[in-house]
């Protein structure tokens, strides 16, 4: 039993009351289970999230270059969705799995629904780019043009670029009996070229890869840009001398890039993962994008050779691959972007009189520090915490989890420095962090070479929790300093991701975290903690216990409310518990950025459930679980979303925020998010999201509060 759970009684009367409550709870869940269509489809819900991203690109109130960036984000989001989610769905279909999703859809039905909705969204995305964004950029002297729009001098400039830089790196690959159809790497942009031998009249197919080492949009000067494939297409004769170039078309393939590492059978997880990373390049295709000008014969060849179905072909007006619009969004045109924002140091980490940075250890001794990034600077809080620990001669040990970090990570450098000065440094590196595997392998080896103890967590579980612990020798004795966060130890994304973190010297939390690190690095097994909820052992059950506690308050006639802020909510057990709570009169408010399988507003089921989503200049990333608890509210923050993978297949941590002032601060954040005048999307019972245009923009309001010293 954790310290935050109420005792169950201990007398005959108490046992009888508890048994009655258990029976009522079980009956409530049984009633909930009678609603067959109570879960929204996970994959369709994700597509609706990406639709909200697209709506930001469509919004004329959003600065123009930010709209351009949201177009790029939409495209890159969709790439990853196909590489992982659609690929997994196709794998289940190929394996003959006919198990319905909890939404009621069979895998084949789910795939068909995904492809249909994706087709509509990608067409809307392409139309927005061509009909609105390109003309709007031109009005501000940023021109994205095609080859036919270039003047003679610009064409000469492109000819020189092709001759001097592009041509030397191109490799045309012919297709004939002596040359099999070449391997097309995932997400690469390619030209399908049809040439003819003038002597024999025979036609031949060739593929030319657009080199990714060059800018996607070639700068022509004066902020004019032309797609690189246009430059290549106009100079293909140099690649095929003596041949007639009949036609060329751009195309792009998306492949299955999810990893499958059999950890139990691998003597060396690092070696197994490296081998799987090599195999990733050759995953089966899951999507083929082509320009709508492609001829039937060339398309038929691509479909046949790549082994995709007609339903997996997406015909779009070019240019393809708008992820390259990030380069355009990065242009130095500050008047077309969100106003500049510079995070400030947390008030408890700054000397009031001089505004100079303080010793993080002294500050944490005085009071817990609740951080809210990016409004509170990551560099002057978490990063400084690790850097000071590395340099402090009184620090004996540093223990750290790493899931994703930046390429030139100051956190890594500090850990290396600490190890080289003789401190004991333990780093739990999650080398299976999707699409960051190679980088994390590299960091693991660097840390090992510096003398850090590097381990990869527990076999079969990803270590996703965000923990740092510093053990310091002080006059009063050994003291533990702990940071628990909702986001990665990444100084770059910390400027773009909204996250929460807690720096504390709370002895019970420190003891819990010490036990958890021992679990991760050794053979100790301590599934119970006082102030932490830890997956896969106690996180789901701990949340369910608190949901039931709110139900008990509601039954007693007291106000009861549960508020959740997360990236995704999918777990059916938790959702059913929230439905049961709603039926008992508990108010349930969920602020979900991405996937939501919880269906609000269903009569008799979820009339007290409200779901909102906030998107903006920062990526909402924090996880916060709030329980009113009959006037003594509890707030928990940590790394876990309400998804099967987080609750069952990862090491995740939620920490109970110990200070009343900090709990009230988090309550104020939720109050603002759920204010009826806050700009947000509201979810309806049919799974559709409606944009409520409010006067309050959550992130901009928090920026203004930070600037005014009110944050």
Which residues belong to the active site?
464
Please give the Cα distance from 114 to 44 (Å, whole number). Answer: 6
Burial label for 659, CB within 10 Å (0-12, 13-18, 19+), is middle
Q: How far is CA 540 from the centre of its chain?
A: 21
Residue whose entry in the numeric block shows the structure tokens 């990665």: 488
Burial state string for 404-430 with b = 16 or more CB within 10 A and e = fewer than 16: bbbeebbbbebbbbbbeeebebbbbbb
Torsion angle in degrees (nearest 10) through CA of 671, 673, 679, 680:
-130
Is the Cβ–Cβ distance between 639 and 623 less than 8 Å?
yes
3-class SS string, 382-417 = HHHHHHHHHHCCCEEEEEEEECCCCCCCHHHHHHHH
Q: Return phi, psi of residue 256, to 5°.
A: -70, 115
Burial state string for 301-329 with b = 16 or more CB within 10 A and e = fewer than 16: bbbebbebeeebbbbbebbbbbbbbbebb
The DSSP call for residue 607 is: T
Ordered DSSP codes for 114-143: HHHHHHHHHHHHHHHIIIIIHHHHHHTT-E
Sheet hosting strand 224-227, strand order edge to edge: 143-144, 224-227, 217-221
Is the Cβ–Cβ distance between 611 and 598 less than 8 Å?
yes
Q: Which of 73, 691, 652 is nearest to 328 (CA)?
A: 73
- Cβ neighbour number for residue 541 with a 10 Å cutoff: 12
Q: Which of 339, 325, 333, 323 is nearest to 140 (CA)?
A: 333
Residue whose entry in the numeric block shows the structure tokens 């958890």: 516
Q: Which of 64, 79, 114, 73 is nearest to 93 (CA)?
A: 114
Please give the Cα distance from 136 to 65 (Å, whole number). Answer: 10
Secondary-structure breakdown of the chain: helix, strand, coil percentages, each rounded to the nearest 5: 40, 25, 35
Q: Which of 379, 378, 385 is nearest to 361 (CA)?
A: 385
């Amino acid at each position: 039993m954790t310290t935050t759970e109420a005792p169950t009684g201990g007398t005959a009367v108490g046992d009888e009351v508890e048994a009655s409550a258990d029976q009522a709870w079980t009956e409530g869940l049984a009633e909930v289970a009678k609603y067959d269509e109570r879960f929204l489809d996970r994959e369709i819900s994700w597509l609706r999230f990406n639709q909200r991203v697209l709506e930001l690109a469509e919004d004329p109130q959003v600065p123009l270059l930010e709209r351009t960036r949201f177009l790029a984000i939409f495209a890159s989001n969709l790439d990853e969705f196909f590489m992982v989610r659609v690929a997994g769905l196709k794998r289940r279909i190929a394996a003959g799995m006919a198990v319905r999703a909890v939404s009621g859809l069979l895998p084949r039905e789910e795939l068909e629904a995904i492809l249909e909705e994706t087709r509509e969204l990608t067409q809307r995305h392409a139309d927005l780019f061509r009909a609105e964004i390109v003309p709007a950029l031109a009005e501000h002297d940023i021109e994205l043009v095609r080859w036919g729009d270039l003047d003679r001098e610009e064409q000469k400039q492109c000819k020189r670029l092709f001759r001097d830089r592009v041509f030397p790196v191109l490799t045309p690959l012919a297709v004939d009996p002596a040359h099999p159809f070449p391997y097309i790497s995932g997400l690469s942009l390619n030209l399908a070229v049809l040439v003819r031998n003038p002597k024999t009249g025979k036609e031949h197919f060739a593929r030319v890869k657009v080199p990714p080492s060059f800018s996607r949009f070639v700068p022509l000067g004066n902020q004019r840009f032309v797609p690189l494939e246009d430059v290549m297409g106009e100079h293909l004769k140099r690649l095929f001398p003596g041949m007639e170039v009949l036609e060329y078309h751009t195309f792009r393939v998306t492949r299955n890039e999810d990893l499958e590492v059999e950890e139990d059978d691998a003597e060396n997880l690092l070696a197994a993962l490296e081998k799987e990373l090599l195999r990733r390049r050759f995953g089966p295709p899951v999507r083929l994008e082509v320009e709508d000008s492609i001829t039937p014969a060339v398309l038929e060849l691509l479909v046949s050779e790549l082994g995709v179905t007609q339903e997996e072909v997406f015909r779009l007006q070019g240019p393809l691959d708008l992820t390259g619009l990030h380069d355009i969004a990065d242009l130095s045109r500050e008047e077309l972007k969100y106003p500049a924002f510079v995070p400030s140091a947390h008030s408890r980490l700054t000397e009031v009189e001089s505004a100079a940075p303080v010793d993080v250890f002294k500050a944490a001794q005085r009071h817990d520090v609740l951080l809210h990034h990016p409004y509170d600077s990551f560099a002057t809080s978490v990063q400084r915490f690790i850097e000071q620990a590395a340099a402090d001669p009184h620090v004996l040990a540093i223990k750290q989890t790493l899931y994703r970090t930046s390429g030139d990570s100051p956190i890594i450098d500090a850990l290396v420095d600490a190890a080289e000065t003789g401190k004991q440094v333990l780093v739990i590196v999650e080398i299976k962090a999707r699409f960051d595997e190679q980088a994390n392998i590299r960091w693991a080896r660097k840390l090992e070479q510096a003398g850090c103890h590097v381990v990869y967590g527990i076999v079969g579980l990803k270590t996703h929790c965000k923990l740092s612990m510093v053990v310091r020798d002080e006059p009063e004795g050994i003291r533990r300093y702990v940071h628990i966060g909702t986001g990665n130890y990444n100084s770059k994304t910390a400027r773009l991701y909204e996250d929460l973190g807690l720096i504390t010297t709370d002895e019970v939390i420190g003891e819990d975290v010490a036990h958890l690190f021992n679990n991760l690095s050794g053979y100790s097994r301590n599934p119970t903690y006082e102030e932490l909820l830890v997956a896969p052992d106690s996180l789901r059950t701990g949340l369910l216990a608190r949901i039931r506690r709110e139900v008990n308050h509601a039954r007693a006639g007291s106000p009861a409310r549960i508020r959740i802020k997360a990236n995704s909510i999918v777990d059916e057990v938790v959702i059913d518990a929230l439905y049961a709570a709603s039926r008992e009169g508990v108010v349930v408010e969920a602020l979900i950025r991405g996937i939501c399988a919880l269906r609000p507003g269903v009569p008799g089921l979820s009339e007290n459930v409200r779901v909102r989503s906030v998107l903006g200049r920062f990526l909402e990333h924090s996880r916060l679980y709030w329980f009113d608890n009959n006037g003594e509210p509890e707030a928990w923050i940590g790394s876990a979303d309400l998804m099967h993978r987080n609750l069952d297949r990862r090491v995740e941590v939620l920490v109970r925020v110990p200070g009343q002032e900090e709990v009230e601060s988090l309550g104020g954040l939720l109050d603002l998010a759920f204010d009826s005048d806050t700009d947000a999307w509201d979810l309806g019972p049919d799974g559709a999201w409606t944009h409520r245009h409010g006067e309050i923009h959550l992130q901009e309001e928090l920026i203004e509060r930070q600037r005014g010293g009110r944050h």
